[in-house]
Amino acid sequence: MGFLFQAVNIFSKYKDEEGDFKESLKDDVHGLLELYEATYMSMPGESILDDALAFTRTCLTAIANYPLLRETMGSMLVSWLYIVNWDYDQYKENTINLKTLHMRIQEALEQPLNKRLPRIEALRYIPFYQQQAYHNESLLKLAKLGFSLLQSLHKKELSQISKWWKSFDVPSNLPYARNRPVECYFWALAVYFEPQYSLSRVFLARFFFIQTLLDDTYDAYGTYKELENFTKAIQRWSVTCLNELPEKMNLVYQILMKLFEEMDEILLKEGKAHHLNYIIDAVLLPYMGNIITDEVFKWAFSNPPLVNACCLHCRTMDDLVTYKEEEDRKHVATGIMCYRKQFNVSEEQACESYNRKVEDAWKELNAEFISCKDVKLPIRMRVINFARSMDVLYKNKDHFTHVGEELINHINSLLVDGIIT
């Protein structure tokens, strides 16, 4: 209740006597943008922030939709200022600032700060900071150097992942499966980007790769009887099961077991071999040094609200962008289909409801992230970063399955292109 009380008191002063946001706020574009970003930190019950989001989004969308008008007026103003001998250099600087602000508005409307991946946001912010007159040159150089050094580490890890992937010759041996080693590494990088979590990043990338193989094996390859035996084999977790599986499932099973055998060796050296059983069920927390304790795993397995909110957010986003393809397969009923039947609503209404569920889940994430202070910040950040990764990979479409220009650009910027010095 304390958070709710503070939000009401802080933002109520921006409303008029009729309960609407003051018209004068529209004149402060920077303020509108900051208020818009603040609304995405809202928690359940903070209706005033819902009102603020609707207000700021409407205002910023109106501003973003008139770039051509501003450019035309700007060109006319340049000519007029030149004639009357005004300070053109000052005007040029203001024009650059205006364009930068317009770009920031468009980016915010597309994806607010709280939902952005830290590594991608660093790439956006460094050139923005460089354009500011107040920027510190030493700090700027340090930021670029830090980004480049970490990028070098990420490239080496991706090289390891690629060699590991190629050793199984998946395109030939498992032609039904998606070939996504780079995308899997990008996903792991989204969750663990810091240099000290190299082992976690590499393990998680490999697991995402295996999870993709499992998903495609169940959805696009195996028969019911084959999958039933495959599921039992995974539950038994024994090499003796290999002879009971079809050739292609045999390979997937071997890859899965080999991955956890490698993790077992690492944990054994650290004196934490018993953590392997935990990691099999909680792969998002594979290896983070001394931060990961038995208590952390017990917390993760207790169905904490933070994890539940993340799961709801991810499941709902996935359902929204994959339900049409899954319905075309006619294997099982989708979440959207079940919702429509249960509540007797149209497809559009079901999707609208799911979108609201996504936003509600984010509010729960915000609240739980702050409230569960007994869990260390690096652990909580994995959950938040995983939710953020979904907002990149599954926003508006399934970017992981149908890799397009947007995801390719993200991958290139983080793993291929060097930062401009």
Q: What is the pLDDT of residue 421?
A: 64
Model confidence, pTM: 0.88
Q: Write the pLDDT tens digit of every residue in 382-415.
A: 999 999 999 999 999 999 999 999 999 999 999 9
Q: What is the pLDDT of residue 8?
A: 56
Q: Write the pLDDT tens digit of every residue in 35-57.
A: 999 999 999 998 889 999 999 99
Residue 3 confidence (pLDDT) above 70? no
Distance (Å, rounded) from C-alpha 100 to C-alpha 86? Answer: 23
| Residue 286 in domain | no
Q: Whose structure tokens read 């990149």? A: 392
**Structure tokens of 222?**
């195996």
| Residue 81 in domain | yes
The stretch 20-36 carries a mean pLDDT of 89
| Residue 85 in domain | yes
| Residue 258 in domain | no
| pLDDT above 70 coverage of the chain, percent | 90
- Whether residue 378 contacts residue 288, with contact meaning beta carbons closer than 8 Å, is answered with yes
Indicate the pLDDT class of residue 75, thresholds 50, 70 and 90. very low
Higher pLDDT, 275 or 91: 275
Q: How many residues does the chain have?
A: 421
The stretch 293-303 carries a mean pLDDT of 88
Q: What is the pLDDT of residue 416?
A: 93
Question: For residue 21, what are the β-bridge partners?
Answer: 15
Residue 97 confidence (pLDDT) above 60? yes
Q: What is the pLDDT of residue 330?
A: 75
82-86, 87-91, 168-172, range with greatest mean pLDDT: 168-172
Q: Write the pLDDT tens digit of every residue in 171-210.
A: 999 999 999 999 999 999 999 999 999 999 999 999 999 9
Q: What is the pLDDT of residue 100?
A: 80
| Residue 73 in domain | yes
Q: What is the pLDDT of residue 268?
A: 85
Q: What is the pLDDT of residue 79?
A: 47
**Residue 118 burial class via C-beta count within 10 angstroms: exposed 0-12, middle 13-18, buried 19 and up:** middle
Higher pLDDT, 90 or 368: 368
- Whether residue 32 contacts residue 60, with contact meaning beta carbons closer than 8 Å, is answered with yes
Q: What is the pLDDT of residue 9?
A: 66
Distance (Å, rounded) from C-alpha 377 to C-alpha 180? Answer: 30
Residue 76 confidence (pLDDT) above 60? no
**Structure tokens of 311?**
């799961």
Residue 152 confidence (pLDDT) above 80? yes
**What domain range includes position 106?**
2-131
CATH number at residue 34: 1.50.10.130
Q: Rounded mean pLDDT of the chain?
A: 86
C-alpha distances (whole Å) from 33 to each of 105, 106, 146, 297, 313 are: 7, 10, 29, 39, 25
Q: What is the pLDDT of residue 276?
A: 79
Q: What is the pLDDT of residue 86?
A: 47
| Residue 389 in domain | no
Distance (Å, rounded) from C-alpha 236 to C-alpha 105? Answer: 53
Q: Which of 44, 42, 52 is nearest to 11 (CA)?
A: 52
The stretch 299-314 carries a mean pLDDT of 93
CA dihedral 351, 356, 359, 365 (to 10 degrees): -110
Residue 80 confidence (pLDDT) above 70? no
Distance (Å, rounded) from C-alpha 141 to C-alpha 421? Answer: 8
| Residue 348 in domain | no
Residue 127 confidence (pLDDT) above 80? yes
| Residue 246 in domain | no
DSSP state of 394: S
DSSP state of 221: T
Distance (Å, rounded) from C-alpha 128 to C-alpha 301? Answer: 42
Q: What is the pLDDT of residue 22?
A: 86
Residue 74 confidence (pLDDT) above 50? no
Q: What is the pLDDT of residue 96?
A: 53
What is the count of structural domains for the chain? 1
Q: Write the pLDDT tens digit of every residue in 319-366.
A: 999 999 888 877 778 899 999 999 999 999 999 999 999 999 999 999
1-15, 125-139, 327-341, range with greatest mean pLDDT: 125-139
- Whether residue 387 contacts residue 365, with contact meaning beta carbons closer than 8 Å, is answered with yes
Distance (Å, rounded) from C-alpha 417 to C-alpha 88? Answer: 35
The stretch 82-110 carries a mean pLDDT of 65
Q: What is the pLDDT of residue 183?
A: 96
Distance (Å, rounded) from C-alpha 122 to C-alpha 359? Answer: 24
Query: At residue 23, what is the residue type?
Result: E
Q: What is the pLDDT of residue 90?
A: 47
Q: Which of 215, 252, 206 is nearest to 233 (CA)?
A: 252
- For 305-321, b/e burial (b = at least 16 CB within 10 A) is ebbebbebbbbbbbbbb
